[in-house]
Amino acid sequence: MSSSQKTDSTSSPRRRLSREQRLQQLMAVAWQIVREHGTEALTLGYLAEQAGVTKPVVYDHFGTRAVLLAALYQDFDQRQTLLMEQALQTSEPTLAARAAVIATSYVDCVLLQGREIPGVIAALASSPELEIIKRDYQAIFLEKCRHALEPFAAGAVIARAGLRAMLGAAEAVSHAAALGEITPAQAQEELCATIVAMVERARASTSATQ
């Protein structure tokens, strides 16, 4: 028996991944592509090549590049929300503590993902359909923040404008921290102060009308 025949006969068969396992593999490779080459390089064909699968496998999971980008943002959003919810459950019931949890979890999640997420967010803004998807996920996140913070607003409703401003600040300081322009601690501290100020403005507006 030749050495090649021996190798073929003793090598173990390639394990077939379940659909969920394949999806997780493709998502991991997609994040790696964005990290190393940017969102411009992320096509379904290149994803298939880098993942070592055929194009139909990738198309079966995502269908279009837009769906893939939306899936990446959803993956990030779910991890961010889970991180925040877990921290809120064990935090002290004070405004400072809740603000610190939201700020820390947001910045930490962006840093965990690295520089990839700003590129994905920018890509989502490139078309009206993707922008709608992004804003839908953002709206869910902002409602969770509102629910966590309004008990400290003295009966006031935290305005959508304030929540959107908070989100803009969160994206800006987290991106700066990911690029090394500021430290993670500085990003968290600044975002925490922004959140506290937003709630205090809402509380002050209620006092002024009474």
pLDDT at 68 over 80: yes
C-alpha closest to that of 149 among 197, 82, 81, 79: 197
Average per-residue pLDDT for the chain: 87
| Residues 185, 97 share a domain | yes
What's the structural domain count of the chain? 2
Answer whether residue 9 is part of any domain: no
Q: Is the CB of residue 138 less than 8 Å from the CB of residue 181?
A: no
| Residues 193, 135 share a domain | yes
> For residue 2, what pLDDT band results from cuts at 50, 70 and 90?
very low
User: What residue numbers bound the domain in which 114 lies?
Assistant: 73-209
| Residues 135, 49 share a domain | no
pLDDT at position 110: 87
Answer whether residue 183 is part of any domain: yes
Answer whether residue 87 is part of any domain: yes
Tell me the pLDDT tens digit for each residue of 152-194. Answer: 999 999 999 999 999 999 999 998 998 899 999 999 999 999 9
The mean pLDDT value for 28-35 works out to 93
| Residues 146, 122 share a domain | yes
* Residues 6 or more apart in contact with residue 130 via CB below 8 angstroms: 66, 69, 70, 123, 124
Tell me the pLDDT tens digit for each residue of 97-109. Answer: 999 999 999 999 8
Answer whether residue 89 is part of any domain: yes
pLDDT at position 35: 87
State pTM to two decimals: 0.76
Per DSSP (E only), the strands in the chain are: none
pLDDT at position 15: 66
pLDDT at position 79: 84
Answer whether residue 3 is part of any domain: no
Tell me the pLDDT tens digit for each residue of 78-137. Answer: 888 888 889 999 999 999 999 999 999 999 988 887 667 778 878 877 778 778 888 888
| Percent of the chain residues past pLDDT 90, beyond the cut | 59
Q: Environment class of residue 36 by beta-carbon count within 10 Å: exposed (0-12), middle (13-18) or buried (19+)?
A: exposed
The mean pLDDT value for 136-162 works out to 93
Both tokens assigned to 178 = 């990911």
